[in-house]
Structure 1
């Protein structure tokens, strides 16, 4: 490929969630559809996932989880229900708003998950993001940034998607949730900047999840990356060509094969999204020759975080 216009990290989230998710992600990586994975260390198939990443040389980071399943740290009492499970995507947010969560326990859990990641993979994560975007929430973002800074984990995800409000029509509850994620992510930028944390110039993925993923929708989303200006404030500055800097971007995706009824999860079994056909739909689109041809035509080069 000639000098790329965009260096694109395509991250397969939820690696380790179940064996069928793992297999779908590996198949997608081998087909050139993703270039990076994010591991749920409390997923029921996390060890298998880490072993697969080693075997296939898949760049791997940590998908920090404070909202689904069983915590890694036994001292995470405020983060769990009486049954010992995390509060859930919305339950975590509600408990946070009510001031019921200990930020010290958030820190202990994040550090425990990094420790387990290192135990499973043999190295620290090169990037760390948040399952269900918990890492950009008020209070959590400061703890998250401190942990990354202390452990010298250089990259994270800032889920502010250009064109989010002009993308495909979404149900009202998703519109509200994504709007709040965007606000929280924008509020996280000064915090992450202060701690020296980096992220790609452009984030993509909220408007192309599940059934909304298609080659035309991905082309629309990529158009925002192709039109973006590189930002030395948010990237390492390492991706540059002889004439002009290259835009860096991350595309968040969720490929896989549907989980069996009682197969997978982080201790509570698989959720509806995992059991649906949406994961396999994403897998099919990401491997579509038309999408791979689009990357080539637009000089979009898939890469890992270490490459930017």
Structure 2
């Protein structure tokens, strides 16, 4: 029987106290098995303490798009900042990048500063590191990101290529365009990460199951479809038939109790996504007993990147 190891990663740990509490509640209920820390989040120090207290496996959610940098020299005059002195935002970062306005040495400086701050807060280097709003797979950035991971010996990352994404007709066209852009960037990143010896789980899920689109049946079908897709791939001499091996999956989630302004965010207050009911909806869905029992029935073992 195919053994499945599932990493359920709660992103944006450190964003605000209510997000932290929601993620901890999910971890203690066995609904989340791994977390990703925003070191520039307003509650990052508190999140690191909670991770230590409850022995929560924690990695770094590198942030170049929301809030303020952590690198002191970049806080006042940097290509990474807009006229208000904050990062350019999810789409603003992509626009500035496409226009050649971002200084890649500053990108590297900030990523290294975030790894160093993570180390300072947690007492260890991150076992895995990915990008907030998927900035780590963008052109140019992907090379810098891979160099930083290799320099610090960080083995694991996330490559957001989701099987069956094209068939998700419940995702609105504008969001689907963004997701397909992320997917294309991810395909173009695979070789770069491979060259630097970086690894990632066999399967990624999370775009089709975010926010209001999360349901127990959506998670089940996304996992089942992804495993079917994976096992259908012809084995090569280097890889045994999938049935006789372990398949690893990362499910990206964003549970939490909604942020209440002005508390939260990464320097400029909480965004709409963090204040919406969708955070609580994810938390409640992930904690449903039928989801947990499905994992057991299907021989799915929850774990973290440290366990791979």
Q: TM-score, normalised by structure 1?
A: 0.94
SS at match of 1:78: coil
Q: Does 1:260 align with 2:267?
A: no
CA contact (8 A) 1:15 1:38 kept: yes
In the alignment, which residue of structure 2 is the partner of 1:306? Answer: 306
In the alignment, which residue of structure 2 is the partner of 1:112? Answer: 113
For structure 1, the residue ranges without an aligned partner over 5 or more in a row are 232-236
In the alignment, which residue of structure 2 is the partner of 1:283? Answer: 283
- Measure, in 2, the Cα distance between the counterparts of 1:222 and 1:173: 24
How many residue pairs get aligned? The number is: 299
CA contact (8 A) 1:41 1:116 kept: yes
In the alignment, which residue of structure 1 is the partner of 2:37? Answer: 39
CA contact (8 A) 2:13 2:37 kept: yes
Question: What are the Cα deviations for residues 186-208 of structure 1, in whole angstroms up to 9, with x where unaligned?
Answer: 00000000000000000000000
In the alignment, which residue of structure 2 is the partner of 1:271? Answer: 271
Question: What are the Cα deviations for residues 48-104 of structure 1, in whole angstroms up to 9, with x where unaligned?
Answer: 000000000000000000000000113330000122100000000000000000000
In the alignment, which residue of structure 2 is the partner of 1:102? Answer: 103
Q: Does 1:122 align with 2:123?
A: yes
Query: 1:230/1:262 Cα in 2 relative to 1: closer, same or farther (>3 Å)?
Result: farther
CA contact (8 A) 1:161 1:205 kept: yes
SS at match of 1:75: helix
SS at match of 2:7: strand
SS at match of 2:130: strand
CA contact (8 A) 1:6 1:225 kept: no
Q: CA RMSD, aligned part only? A: 1.8
- Measure, in 1, the Cα distance between the counterparts of 2:184 and 2:127: 26
Give, in angstroms, the shift of residue 254 of structure 1: 0.2
Question: What are the Cα deviations for residues 187-245 of structure 1, in whole angstroms up to 9, with x where unaligned?
Answer: 000000000000000000000000000011001111134322499xxxxx9xx9xx811
Q: Does 1:22 align with 2:23?
A: no
In the alignment, which residue of structure 2 is the partner of 1:56? Answer: 54
- Measure, in 2, the Cα distance between the counterparts of 1:167 and 1:59: 31
Q: TM-score, normalised by structure 2?
A: 0.94
- Measure, in 1, the Cα distance between the counterparts of 2:246 and 2:227: 10
For structure 2, the residue ranges without an aligned partner over 5 or more in a row are 234-238
Question: What are the Cα deviations for residues 240-299 of structure 1, in whole angstroms up to 9, with x where unaligned?
Answer: 9xx811100100000000000211000010010100010000000000001001101111
Give, in angstroms, the shift of residue 131 of structure 1: 0.1
CA contact (8 A) 1:204 1:221 kept: yes
